[in-house]
Amino acid sequence: MMEKKLAGKVQTVLGLIDGDELGLTTPHEHLLLDLTVRFKLMEESVTARTMAERPMTPDMAGWIRFHLFENRDNLLLDDEELAIEEIMRFKLAGGKSVVDVTNWGIGQDPHAMTRIARSTGLNIIMGTGYYTMDSGCAEVLTRKSEDEICQEIINDIMAGTDGICAGIIGEIGADSWPLHEIEIKSLRASVRAQRATGAGLTIHPGRLDESPLQIIDIIKKAGADMSRVVIEHIDRTAYSFETMVEIAKAGCCLEFDCFSMEGYYPTRYGVFDIPNDAQRVNYIIRLIELGYLNQVLIATDTAMKSRLTVYGGPGYAHIPENVIPWMRAKGMSEEVIRAITEENPKRILTFVAPS
């Protein structure tokens, strides 16, 4: 199995391609996803109970913005035809490649990814490994050894499901605090799989400054290739610019993937601010000024019905349609924008020789 030669290539669900074929890439999205395990009512009012089980409709956009996890249907992306229609907006806006990081625990569907790839003509790169322990992965992560988890990830990259193979490890769930031993085990197994395959590794941290720093300490000790590690959700994780710089100093990529989520985050995760898109771009400009251009990624992490255009959301095309023009208006050059949206994803997605 390990004779498969991946170094220098990008692995899509339809096979290997050269990195130069990726073009404009969104490195963190969900085309299909089951996040209903995260459903939770935050209050017991008549309105809350009524809205909880109501099918999503566009007129709910105002309410759902402040109650993202309190409508069960909002947390389920299960319409393949709608996924095709929505992601085509990204393609029509100039997009070429999509990283779907839906992995084990939240509905990874390799066959569906191939159908979407064929229907749209987009390069789709699929994630692998285990999501967070509170997404239904706790039992299996407790039961399985680090060796077993590592080998599962390797198999999904090298052999796949009916030959449909993952092209990146992640998004690996590590958002417990302090990190639970089973998520530490999952992280260590993922690092070992990274070394064995040469794949990129993308990690879902907790919602506080200390979380990514603890993750970095663990994966460094496990031997991760830090230049090919992505710390996701920077814009809801690193509450200070100083923390962003600490992450960058470790050599990781910083992924600002909450673009279009402006100024509010569900209180079920505590009370904290989230930047708007203008502030995200300002943070990125400051990181670039410090020399970290090659470590910045951007995406929308579209993971709910309410983020789709049919339900009144910004959709998958928000980056090329709205964010890139704003970057230009803020003085970013085409070379800088291309580095963030093409070259940086290409480096993470292109396999290197196993170590």
Tell me: the pLDDT tens digits for 34-82? 999 999 877 788 888 889 999 999 999 989 988 889 999 999 999 999 9
**Rounded distance, CA 64 to CA 42, Å?**
13
In a domain, 80, yes or no: yes
Residue 200 placed within a domain? yes
Domain enclosing residue 58, as ranges: 19-349
Residue 354 within any structural domain of the chain: no
How far apart, in whole angstroms, are the C-alpha atoms of residue 348 and residue 227? 8
Query: Is residue 303 included in any domain, yes or no?
Result: yes
Q: Write out pLDDT tens, residues 282-306.
A: 999 999 999 999 999 999 999 999 9
The whole model's pTM is what? 0.96
Give a yes or no: residue 2 inside a domain: no
The region, left, alpha or beta by phi > 0 then psi within -120 to 50, assigned to residue 15 is left
CATH number of the domain encompassing residue 306: 3.20.20.140
Any domain includes 13: no
Q: ω before 342 within 30° of 0 (cis)?
A: no
pLDDT over 60 (residue 2)? no
Q: What one-letter code names the amino acid at 201?
A: L
| The pLDDT of residue 322 | 98
Cα dihedral sign, 353-125-96-256: negative
How many domains, in total, are found in the chain? 1
Residue 268 in this model has a pLDDT that exceeds 70: no
Taking only the tens place, the pLDDT of each residue in 174-186 is: 999 999 999 999 9
Residue 269: is its pLDDT beyond 70?
no
Question: With 50 as the cut, is the pLDDT of residue 1 above it?
Answer: no
Query: Would residue 9 count as lying in a domain?
Result: no
Give the C-alpha separation, 236 to 233, whole Å: 6
